[in-house]
Every structure is written in C-alpha cells, then in structure tokens.
Amino acid sequence: MAFCARWDSRSKYLDQIDELIIPFHGKADRLLEFLEEHKKQRIILDIKDDWKDFYGTILQPIGEEYQNLVLRLTDEAQVLNSGIQKSKIPYFINQVCTDWETLNAITELGVSDVYISEQLCFELAEVSKFAAAAGVRVRVYPNIAQSTRSSTPALKTFFVRPEDADIYNRRYISTFEFYYPEDIDINWDVLYRAYAINKRWRGPLKEIILGFDDDLDSTYVSPRWAELRMTCRRKCLKGDHCSACIQIAALAKSFEEIEVMPILPKDSKAAAKEVLEIIDSKKIDSEKETPLPVIPNF
C-alpha cells in the first residue's frame, strides 16, 4: 500500500510516506539532489504552466538514472505536446476519471497511474481488472466525500475510512493520496497517522473526511462496511432497494448509544455472506420508518 501527500516541511513523516508531490520550479540541480536524498520514495514532480521549460532543462538531463521520478501533468494536451511520451520517465495526468470513457481515454495515453472517483469506485472489481491489463496503478483520494451532485447523501458518496484502507489496497487500490485544497493550510500528519499508522479513527468521520456532513462515528461502524460498498455498483441510485449503507450507519448509531464497538466473529466470511444474503433478499427495507438493522452482531 502506498500513501501520498504534497511536500510540507512541517511534517514528521517526510521520510516515511511512500510518495511525495513536489512542484516544478525549473531548477534542475536541486531536483537531482532531492531525488538522490529520497531514493527510497516515489517522487511526483507536479508540472503545471511551465511544462515547456521542463522539457529542455530537466527531461533530457535526467534520462533514466532516477527510477523514483514520476511526472504529474495537467491535461491530455500537455502529454501530447511535451514530448514526454518519447522519454522513459513515467507520467500521469492530474485528472480524475469518473466514468469508463474517461478512464479508457486517459489510459490510452500511456500513463503510469490513473485517478478514479465517484461511480468507478463502486465498481472496483472491473476497474482493477482493467487497470491490471493496462499496466496502470489506481489512485484514489480517501479523505473527501466524492459525488457529482452536492445533494447526494454523504453515506452514498465515495470515501475510505482509515479502518478500511487495507482491504481496499489488498484488492483494488495502489495509492491513497491525501486531498486538501492548495489554498488551505493543512498539515497532513493527522491523516497519515490515522490511515497509515493507527489504521483507525476514533470519532466522527467528518473530522477527517472533507465534505462529509453526517455525524457517523467511525468507531462504531461495522468492519464489513467497505466489503459491501467496493463492488455494489451503487445499486441504490439505480432503482434498487438496497440500503446497506443506511442500515449499517443506523446500526453504528445504535452501538454508539450503548457504547459498544462492533467486532468481527471468528467466521467473518460467513458473517459477510449472511449480510449479503439479507440485502439481496431485500429483508432490509429502506422505506420503513426508522427500520431496525437486520444484520448479524459483528
């Protein structure tokens, strides 16, 4: 599993995090020194408006010596016009794919990584298979509630709890990149500790997930939350009566009221199967008033 964040001199984890994003300032000597200092990390060089300067001053001198360098470009035109495809330096585009058409188009540019979001993050089995065949790494932003429309309930948006990062990584996701607007001064150490070190968050998810406006406390969420969402294809938005997210959130609030943390039984596969059978048979009915969760006690 890889975690990624922008360079921040205040961070305690600059030498531990797997990937660092640094801006391109046109100084070849300093870049080479930095690559040498951080040989064990993947360095993402963020190239924006000054990409034409990059080709002449940086691309040719670097050659193939530094295997830890990856370029992040702004858009498709930058790839096609920069000559970067002729080099052997890996590169990808700072554009998030939310549908299959965009994912195909970006992948065909020969990129090393792709960002995915929204609907594609609920079809991860298919996305992972596609990415593996294309030889690209899948990247997501775990700490922001992602949806096309602001009116979408928080529970139906895509995000990743710190407790679920491992299961997403084992099956589908290569890199978790921490998201925060460039104009907001945020030290990402809190996120790194939650996702990479502690692998849990004891408190409301809205404290670490941007745009998440629900009071759901991650402490009391079922460990099967992620397993039910990764390949659900968002059936709830397609006329299906699936309400697994709502029901698990209701169960979490019940646990919170009595201050009991959910744990997995010994036979976790059987528990997961039982949950899926409940949902598939529509024993969980989202139209009932304040429905009680019909879910195994885990």
pLDDT in tens, 148-164: 888 898 999 999 999 99
Give the pLDDT score at 282.
Answer: 40
| Residue 240 confidence class, pLDDT cut points 50, 70, 90 | confident
Q: Do 108 and 23 belong to one domain? A: yes
User: Out of 23-27, 140-144, 221-225, 228-232, which region has the weakest mean confidence (pLDDT)?
Assistant: 23-27
Same domain, 227 and 102: no
Q: Across the chain, what does the average pLDDT equal?
A: 83
Q: Which two tokens stand for residue 261?
A: 């943390």
Q: Which domain holds residue 266?
A: 221-298
Q: Is the pLDDT of residue 295 over 50?
A: no
Q: Are residues 25 and 67 in the same domain?
A: yes
Distance of alpha carbon 154 from alpha carbon 71, whole angstroms: 33
Asked if residue 91 lies in contact with residue 73, where contact means CB atoms within 8 angstroms, the answer is: yes
- Residue with the two structure tokens 């300067």: 53
In which band, very low, low, confident or very high, does the pLDDT at 283 lie, cut at 50, 70 and 90? very low
Closest by CA to 146, choosing from 116, 123, 189, is 116
Q: How many CB atoms lie within 10 A of CB 131?
A: 21
Euclidean distance between CA atoms 194 and 176, whole angstroms: 12
Q: Is the domain of 6 the same as that of 136?
A: yes
User: Which residue, 192, 216, 240, sits at the end of a domain?
Assistant: 216
Say if residues 272 and 278 touch (Cβ distance below 8 Å): no
* Per-residue confidence (pLDDT) for residue 284, from 0 to 100: 38
Q: Which of 12-16, 170-174, 223-227, 253-257 is predicted least confidently?
A: 253-257
User: What whole-number distance in Å separates Cα of residue 21 and Cα of residue 267?
Assistant: 41
pTM over 0.85: no
Residue-wise DSSP of 266-281: S-HHHHHHHHHHHHHT
Residues 129 and 46 in one domain: yes
Structure tokens at 28: 């070849």
Per-residue pLDDT tens digits for 97-110: 999 999 999 999 99
What CATH number is associated with residue 8? Answer: 3.20.20
- Same domain (yes/no): 138, 172: yes
- Whether residue 67 sits in one domain with residue 21: yes
* Cα 14 from Cα 189, distance rounded (Å): 9
Contact 29, 53 (CB under 8 A): no
Query: 258: helix, coil or strand?
Result: helix
Task: Tell me which of 187, 216, 245 is where a domain ends.
Answer: 216
Indicate whether 291 pLDDT > 50: no
Is 90 within 8 Å of 59 (Cβ atoms)? no
Average pLDDT estimate for 262-286: 50
Q: Which of 77-81, 133-137, 172-176, 184-188 has the lowest mean pLDDT?
A: 77-81
Residues 77 and 62 in one domain: yes
Q: Which of 216, 236, 257 is the last residue of a domain?
A: 216
Same-domain status, 206 and 271: no
Alpha helix ranges (H) inside 142-224: 165-171, 189-192
Do 233 and 194 share a structural domain? no
Q: What is the pLDDT of residue 60?
A: 60
Distance CA 167, CA 230 (A): 10
Q: What confidence score (pLDDT) does residue 54 get? A: 66
Task: Quote the pLDDT of residue 270.
Answer: 56
Q: Do 101 and 207 lie in a common domain?
A: yes
Q: Rounded mean pLDDT of 126-130?
A: 96
Give yes or no for residue 287 having a pLDDT over 50.
Answer: no
Mean pLDDT of 106-127: 95
C-alpha span between 119 and 126 (Å, rounded): 12
Which alpha helices (DSSP H) does the chain contain, by range?
Answer: 28-37, 51-54, 60-62, 76-82, 100-107, 124-134, 165-171, 189-192, 225-229, 244-258, 268-280
With a cut of 70, say whether residue 117 has pLDDT above it: yes
Residue 142 has pLDDT above 50, yes or no: yes
Residue 50: per-residue pLDDT: 63
Q: Is the pLDDT of residue 215 over 60?
A: yes
Cα distance between residue 37 and residue 170, in whole Å: 29
**pLDDT for res 32:** 83
| Total domains, the chain | 2
Confidence class for position 249, pLDDT limits 50, 70, 90: confident
